[in-house]
Amino acid sequence: MREHIVREKWVAIERAKILRERVRQCYRREGVNHLQNCRTAVRQYLESLKGVGWGKDGRPSYAHDPKSTWPSTPPPPPPFK
């Protein structure tokens, strides 16, 4: 079971590397028009990065959730009397 999980992780990592190289080549090929012409390649690359890696990346958990407000601000302290 563990070998299967490790193999799947490696496949996801290598897929992300391939997509990153496609984005790099697209940026070089398209030049100043890369924002429009490389949009699908960038979206595929960013989608492939979700859940890829071996451990936590050091960001707080609220930074991973796109629906959360980041950074969340705490309520103001009460006034002094």
Q: pLDDT tens for residues 29-57?
A: 999 999 999 999 999 999 888 877 665 55
Q: Is the pLDDT assigned to residue 72 strictly greater than 70?
A: no
Q: What is the mean pLDDT of the chain?
A: 80
**Structural domain boundaries of the chain?**
2-53
Whole-number pLDDT of residue 4 = 85
Determine contact, residues 34/27, Cβ cutoff 8 Å.
yes
CA distance 49 to 20: 10
Residue among 46, 45, 52 nearest 21 (CA): 45
pTM more than 0.75: no
Q: Tens of pLDDT along 22-31?
A: 999 999 999 9
Rounded to whole angstroms, the Cα distance separating 68 from 41 reads 26
